[in-house]
Structure 1
Amino acid sequence: MMRRFAGRRSRTRTERKRGRYIQARPANGPIDDLAFDATLRAAAPFQKERSEERKQVAFSIHRSDLMRKIRVRRAANLILFVVDASWSMAVAERMQATKGAILSLLNDAYQRRDRVGLIVFQKDRATLVLPPTNSVTLAQTALADIPVGGKTPLSAGLKLALEVLQRERLRHPDVMPLLIVLTDGAGNVSISHLPPLEEAYLYADEIAREGVHSIVINMEHMAFDQGLAQALADHLKAPCYTAGEMRAENLYYTVRQELNARTPPATLEDRR
């Protein structure tokens, strides 16, 4: 149900009674959004054999005839970057690429109605540098001066990302989030009594349970890679990309590729 249209948002199914009615399926569950036309068609072939019932009613409908509407609507994408700003990696290069990608995504956000946000984690905390927005002006102001240096509180970044995503889903129930984590995966600061990486993986598992589509950009140099970024991606149930030649346009196209590739989970009827 996901397709790319210029100047459009992502197309997605919705369980709410809003959106365009495109087809009908058997109402095995809730019957509060019935497709009356499809229900009548489903019951029509059985009217002769229900002749006794039709002495009481003009048209006999059984529960097995009920059909529910399948609707689609345009849903906005929320692209949330979570970036390691510690000294553990090439901060200047990573930040430059991230800022460039954010501004590129915002340039078409007005037409697509996407929103982009940025969380930075370093020292002992994570900061929401850019709350979700489609304003290029606000982004340019927020991205002008981002603090860097210190240790790597990976779990703090993931925790704040989870909170932001949950808050956005309450405000915009049909939002389609994409979480992009740029890190080498080497968290070394806890926000509780747990070891840093164990704590980070717990938050990553919770993000995965929320059904958030994520990707991890591994910023570690190949010669020193210990597989920590891949381990984080495994807990997020996400693909892990190697940064390689880290440029803004590469990151931008990677994000767009992931947005275009996503599909909502199939329903039981779809799998039959």
Structure 2
Amino acid sequence: MRLPGAGEGLSGRRSAAHGPRGATVRAIAGGHGVHVPGTVAAAAGRGAVVEDGRLALETRDLRGALRRGTESNLVVFLVDASGSMAARDRLSAVTGAVTSLLRDAYQKRDTVAVITFRGPGAEVALPATRSIDAAVRRLARLRTGGRTPLAEGLVEALHLIERERRREPGRRALLVVLSDGRATGPGGRERARAAAAALRERGAAGAVVVDCESGRVRLGLAAELADSLGAPCVRLAALDADAVAGVVRAGI
């Protein structure tokens, strides 16, 4: 499970990226610098000959290097904070995962954000940050309970990701949704499917759904949400900080 593609990302040490630094993959037109063997090969391919010890090059022959390195990422947790005990478990796992990821944010240069949805809507509980202190302080104040406005959470996630994309265009995003897929309120499931489809169609982020459904009777709604997002759906043996952080590290 990886973020789709390898883009011209901000330099970091997490996921694969094409950019001005890193190992040379091949020679391409419009690449970085001048790739001499590739340029010579391109000239030879069009029939250029060596005269007086010189190869007559044309502008169209020039090739640069396609380099593959690593980039930093934006990790956005979208957490169902509705209900009581189960919601507190989800928030506890995310808080621990955020802290774990931010411990190595200096090296990886990643940023992390948290959005919760409960009651009347969704809120950005933690704006994109690399600060452990800010994360611990803000996440300690989170509340649980109420209905499950999943669609509002997905819309808020799209807005946050697109704001961050405008601010830092090279930083690719991973959306991690912790939910059982339930969406209460009028048209809840239909609106959630539409919001998930919008995220998918806009190509705003890679995504993964952590299925938090419990109990003997399983509705499979998290899998439906994952399908709408075009994302994998993961069930964890234990919903704790290490497991959630592991999902992120595997995803990017």
User: Structure 1-normalised TM-score?
Assistant: 0.78
Cα 1:34–1:221 shift into 2, 3 Å: same
In structure 2, stretches of 5+ residues that fail to align are 7-11
Alignment match, 1:249: 242
CA distance in 1: counterparts of 2:45 and 2:96, whole angstroms: 62
Amino acid corresponding to residue 181 of structure 1 in structure 2 = V
Amino acid at match of 1:207: L
SS in 1 for 2:216: helix
Number of residues paired by the alignment?
241
1:216: which partner in 2? 209
| 1:70-102 Cα deviation digits (max 9, x unpaired) | 134442121110000111771122221111111
Confirm or deny that 1:202 pairs with 2:194: yes
1:172 to 2:165 alignment: no
Q: Paired residue for 2:13, among 1, 5, 9?
A: 9
- Paired AA for residue 223 in structure 2: Q
Partner of 1:5: none
Q: 2:21 aligns with which of 19, 22, 25?
A: 19
Contact 2:97 2:241 in 1 (8 A): yes
Give the whole-Å Cα distance in 2 for the aligned partners of 1:183 and 1:89. Answer: 14
Q: Is the 1:77–1:176 contact (alpha carbons within 8 Å) kept by the matching residues of 2?
A: yes
Given that 2:77 and 2:177 are in contact with CA atoms closer than 8 Å, whether structure 1 keeps it comes out as: yes
Q: How does 1:111-130 map to 2 (within 5 A)?
A: 111-130=107-126
Which of 1 and 2 has greater Rg?
Answer: 1
Contact 2:116 2:124 in 1 (8 A): yes
**What SS does the aligned partner of 2:213 have?**
coil
Q: Secondary structure at the match of 1:9?
A: strand
Please report the TM-score for the alignment, with normalisation by the length of structure 2.
0.83
CA RMSD of aligned residues (A): 2.9
Q: Which residue of 1 aligns with 2:58?
A: 61
Check whether the contact 1:24–1:67 (CA below 8 A) recurs between aligned residues. Answer: no
Indicate the SS of the match to 2:141.
coil
User: Would the alpha carbon gap of residues 171 and 224 (structure 1) be closer, same or farther in structure 2, given more than 3 Å must change?
Assistant: same
Structure 1: 5+ residue stretches without partners = 3-7, 260-272
CA distance in structure 1 between the aligned counterparts of 2:246 and 2:17, rounded to whole angstroms? 25
Question: How much has 1:183 moved relative to structure 2?
Answer: 0.6
Instruction: Measure, in 2, the Cα distance between the counterparts of 1:22 and 1:32.
Output: 10
In the alignment, the residues of structure 2 paired with residue 104 and residue 161 of structure 1 have an alpha-carbon distance, to the nearest angstrom, of: 21
- Structure-1 residue corresponding to 2:135: 139
How many percent identity over aligned positions? 34
C-alpha distance after superposition, 1:188-217 (max 9, x if no partner): 136xxxx22122112212222315211111
2:15·2:73 contact (CA, 8 Å) conserved in 1? no
